[in-house]
Amino acid sequence: MTDGARVRLRPMTDVEFGTWRASAIESYAADVALASGVPLDLATERSRAEFEELLPDGLSTHGSWVLTIVDGADGSDVGTLWIGPHPRRPGAAYVFDIEVDAAQRGRGLGRASMLAAEHLVGEAGITEIGLNVFGFNERARRLYDSLGYRVVATQMTKSVAAGESRRDGAAG
């Protein structure tokens, strides 16, 4: 089976959207908290606000696709995918969320889903697609590297103790 036939993308139903939205807000908030050290309650507030801003009309939000990933082999639902307009690059698409069910990972479904996403936006006349991947998500970073995504920017942070002196000889 070719990668293109591995999955099919279908629009979410209203019921699926409600369940997905709640789960995706929590999942994104947990990832932000883990990656940045922001307290979970603040990350959750931020996540809710971002979802409201980016999907103001839910499934009917112009230029957005909120999809269920369907296994091409057996027709079972195996994940979710949200693509919308790129927040900083007019005319480009952006993968805001992709999730393959934990029990289905390692079968090539994430790769097939990304290829299907690229095909979807290409059919819509969009020639660029972007995404964010958290630094701790090595598996996803390897996948995107192997698919030809390039790093545009890297944000880094380090926790330091208040009043800690610098020992590397650099002026502070």
pLDDT digits (tens, 9 = 90+) for 57-94: 999 999 999 999 999 889 999 999 999 999 889 999 99
What band does 171 get if pLDDT is binned at 50, 70 and 90?
low
Report pLDDT for 133.
86
Does residue 148 or residue 172 have the better pLDDT?
148
Look at the alpha carbons of 83, 132, 69, 142 in this order and tell me if their dihedral is positive or negative.
positive
Model pLDDT, residue 18:
95
Residues 6+ apart with CB under 8 A from 80: 12, 20, 24, 66, 67, 68, 69, 97, 98, 99
Structure tokens at 141: 């970073």
Cα dist. 145→49, 103, 108, 111, 139 in Å? 30, 23, 15, 11, 10
Confidence of residue 164 (pLDDT cuts 50, 70, 90): low
So what's the pLDDT on residue 93? 96
pLDDT of amino acid 1:
42
**Mean pLDDT taken over the chain:** 89
Locate the domains of the chain by residue range. Answer: 3-146
Sequence-distant (≥ 6) Cβ neighbours of residue 65 within 8 angstroms: 9, 11, 81, 82, 83, 84, 120
User: pTM of the predicted model, to two decimals?
Assistant: 0.84
Element (H, E) at 130: strand 129-131
Is pLDDT at 170 greater than 80 in this prediction? no
In angstroms, the CA 118 to CA 123 distance is 9
The CATH-assigned architecture of domain 3-146 is: 3-Layer(aba) Sandwich (3.40)
For residue 31 the two structure tokens come to 């990832």
